[in-house]
Amino acid sequence: MPGSVVHGLGPGASLLSASHAAGQQMSRTKARESFVWGGVRRELQVAKVELISAGIDEAPGVYKDNHKVMAQQRDLIVPIARLNPRLVKMAPRG
């Protein structure tokens, strides 16, 4: 669930870019089939994250592991900060 602030190193082979987020590891349809709100709410509560609104397709388990994604880009970026969310406000489903 964490996010990262990074400084890009800009190697030409990467087209001067790095990913801006970990990205999803499953489709939104698969996410809606895979998660239930009770489990997601418990996970967020343990992580001390307040959920204001979001569709189940934004559950933390939908996304790739941010630590692994940042490690895979170590030749593209210099990590500056790690952000741990405490509040989530996404567009509600629909």
Mean pLDDT over residues 11-28, rounded? 82
**Per-residue confidence (pLDDT) for residue 2, from 0 to 100:** 86
Whether 18 shows a pLDDT value over 90: the answer reads no
**Per-residue confidence (pLDDT) for residue 93, from 0 to 100:** 66
Rounded mean pLDDT of the chain? 88
Q: Where are the alpha helices (H) located in 1-94, listed in sequence order?
A: 28-34, 37-46, 66-72
Q: Which of 74, 66, 91 is nearest to 7 (CA)?
A: 74
Mean pLDDT over residues 71-91, rounded? 89
Mean pLDDT over residues 42-59, rounded? 92
Beta bridge partners of 24: 63
Q: Per-domain residue ranges for the chain? A: 3-86
